[in-house]
Structure 1
Amino acid sequence: MHKGFRRLLGKSVRAGLLAMAVSCAGATIAPAEETTHIEDSSRLVSIGGSLTEIIYALGEEKRLVAVDSTSIFPPEAKELPDVGYMRALSPEGVLSVNPSGIVLLEGSGPREALDVLKKASIPLVIVPEHFTREGVLEKIHAVGKALGVEEKAEKLAASADADLAAAEKAASSVKERKRVLFILSMQGGRIMASGRNTAANGIIELAGGVNAIDGYDGYKQLTDEAIGEAAPDVILMMDRTGNHAASDEEIFGNPAFAGTPAAANKKLIRMDALYLLGFGPRTASAAHDLSVALYGDAARH
């Protein structure tokens, strides 16, 4: 939560807000249906870092009254009250800022929290998440429609599309594509890596690389044998600190990587998590930067 934010809400107030949300189905105001447009978007809660980026890119940040903890760009977004992590939402936290509408990224939850929010008579727009060039444009159009600023969204989408097309064109010139292994975490020496249908897979493809793991969807723990068979040329990770961080020495010293091209060449790329995986207005730049990190000058033009 935003500094001091929880302290402003006494237990009885928070309990009252939750009880009010749960009981709204029986009130005189009918429960809100999931929608694509918010009539009164003067007090928005944005849940999903890429959605918050889009709202700022549209110049509509004045509508925001709170965001979730993944909304860390632009830096000003971090000054807004924080309603929690998008996949572990508390309805009382979201409702406590008295929003007139909520824009929420697909995959947010848990489901029980969304059910409560849908009963609170507050318009809720769920924005689809697809890790492709088209997915970025769909997000922009969905946010624009939700806020009633379709013309602004059309311009932003056109600009993003041109940038993404340029990034794809640059990546397409690469003749020998590198195999990239995205590692989500290495806690306890257990390697959790990205398969298909993930943001990591999407950005690797946009940058002209090949996901070294293609035998499953989502994120899974890999065996040493699976990593050896994947034979990654490059390891890609989020630039992070804390319990999920791992040093270069820890990574390349792990027996699972022995014999891989990535370990032989000590090739590891770290990038900011939201920038790399957000699939928002900066994705074209992220794809370009990753492509340059993979291929050097060959990907600059």
Structure 2
Amino acid sequence: MKRRQLLLAGLLPGLGLAQAQPRVVSVGGAVTETVFALGAQGQLAGVDTTSLFPVDATRLPQVGYARTLSAEGVLALAPQLLLAGGEAGPPQVLAQLKRAGVRVEVLDEHHRFDGVVERTKRIGMLSGREREAQQFIAKLQQDWAARPKPPAGSLPRVLFVLAHAGGQLRVAGEGTAADAMLTLAGARNAFAGVQGYRPLTAEAALQAAPDVILCTDQGLEAQGGIDGLLKAPGLALTPAGRARRVAGMEALLLLGFTPRLPQALAELTGKLHGRAA
């Protein structure tokens, strides 16, 4: 009898019944975007502040910033499942949510297209949207195969600058989303050989000698546009700075490894190689 009740509730597979579709809190812009891509937004009880796309996500109850969650804020929305990107935390809050009976699933794409596919598949399974996930993955793989390829020849040296209002500018080394995107777009990271993000200094900028400076749209706006960004130490004296070769992209699209990754890569390739995306 108990098994039959669980089957009728959709909590166990069997008899061709639909899977359970749990009440979800989504943490991480790419995770939330995937939930929407699978048509599971009706299951969302809330999202974090990095969940900016699509715009409907910004209208949902918020649980704060992904890295600084509070158990109380999440539990107030009574979720059955927390779907979170690899940046979610702090760890003690995730552990507290588990103890409170919330299923916590951390999903990291590891800055790879295959990781995006695997994350989509996993979210489909956890949300009871496996069929939708399979259909979406098929389209995603088609778009990936059709993405523009970088032109043959020399690879532009690109310096990615992470800029925020009131904060110190940092440059991206290896092991970052920016580094992974530059590699996929057929460019060389001008700050290769260094792990993670490092503060921008005039010496580092001059030594990097980038052909192009890349920034997020939000970062450019925070710095007052290209003119403001080039006032940062050393940037105006680099080959990119002297030629004002500065490119910007929306932050989540550029760095999020979201379901729009083929679109992001097409746009970035066009910007870095001087042709329309």
- The question of a shared fold, defined as TM-score above 0.5 by the shorter chain, is answered with yes
Corresponding residue for 1:207? Answer: 185
Asked if the contact 1:224/1:257 (under 8 Å) is kept, the reply is yes
Distance in structure 1 (CA, Å) of the matches to 2:74 and 2:228: 39
* 3-state SS of 1:69 partner: coil
TM-score by length of structure 1 reads 0.80
2:83 and 2:167 map into 1 onto residues whose CA distance is 37
Give the 3-state SS of the residue equivalent to 2:149 in structure 1: helix
SS at match of 2:214: strand
1:190 Cα offset (Å)? 4.2
Structure 1 vs Structure 2 CA RMSD? 2.1
* 3-state SS, counterpart of residue 232 of structure 1: coil
Q: Which amino acid aligns with 2:47?
A: V
Structure 2 counterpart of 1:220? 198
Does 2:81 match 1:81? Answer: no
Separation in 2, partners of 1:239, 1:53: 19
- Residue in structure 2 matched with residue 127 of structure 1 by the alignment: 107
**Cross-structure match for 1:231:** 209
Deviation sequence 1:127-184 (CA, Å, 0-9, x none): 12311211211211121121132222122122212222332xx334332221111111
Q: Matched residues in 2 for 1:114 and 1:252: separation?
A: 41
Q: Alpha-carbon deviation of 1:253?
A: 3.0
Q: Distance in 2 between matches of 1:242 and 1:223?
A: 18
The aligned counterpart of 1:284 is: 262
Q: Among residues 6, 28, 38, which one is paired with 1:58 in the alignment?
A: 38
In the alignment, which residue of structure 1 is the partner of 2:132?
152
How far residue 255 of structure 1 moved from its aligned partner, in angstroms, is 4.4
Q: Distance in 1 between matches of 2:119 and 2:165?
A: 33
- The CA distance in 2 between the partners of 1:152 and 1:287, in whole Å, is 24
Deviation at 1:249, TM superposition (A): 1.5
Any conservation in 1 of the 2:164–2:219 contact (CA below 8 Å)? no
* Alignment check: 8 A CA contact 1:182 1:236 kept: yes
Q: What residue is the counterpart of 1:245 in the other structure? A: 223
Q: Is the 8 Å Cα contact of residues 220 and 229 (structure 2) preserved in structure 1? A: no
Q: CA deviation at 1:126?
A: 1.2
Counterparts of 1:1-301 in structure 2 under 5 Å? 40-167=20-147, 170-185=148-163, 190-240=168-218, 244-297=222-275
Match of 2:9 in 1: none
Gap change, CA 1:190 and 1:47, over 3 Å in 2: closer
Deviation of residue 262 (structure 1)? 0.5
| Closer/same/farther in 2, CA of residues 243 and 118 from structure 1, 3 Å limit | farther
Q: In the TM superposition, what is the alpha-carbon distance from 1:53 to its structure 2 partner?
A: 0.6
Structure 1 residues 84 and 150, CA gap change in structure 2 (3 angstroms): same
CA distance in 2, matches of 1:186, 1:85: 16
Deviating above 6 A after TM superposition, structure 1's stretches of 4 or more consecutive aligned residues are: 186-189
Alignment size in residue pairs: 259
Cα deviations by residue, 1:99-134 (Å, 9 ceiling, x for unpaired) = 121111112101121111111111111112311211
Instruction: Tell me the SS of whatever aligns to 2:161.
Output: strand
Give the distance between the partners of 1:208 and 1:139, measured in 2 at CA.
Answer: 25
TM-score (norm 2): 0.86
* Counterpart AA for 1:254: A
Question: Equivalent pairs: percent with the same residue?
Answer: 39
Q: Is the CA contact (8 Å cut-off) linking 1:104 and 1:127 kept in structure 2? A: yes
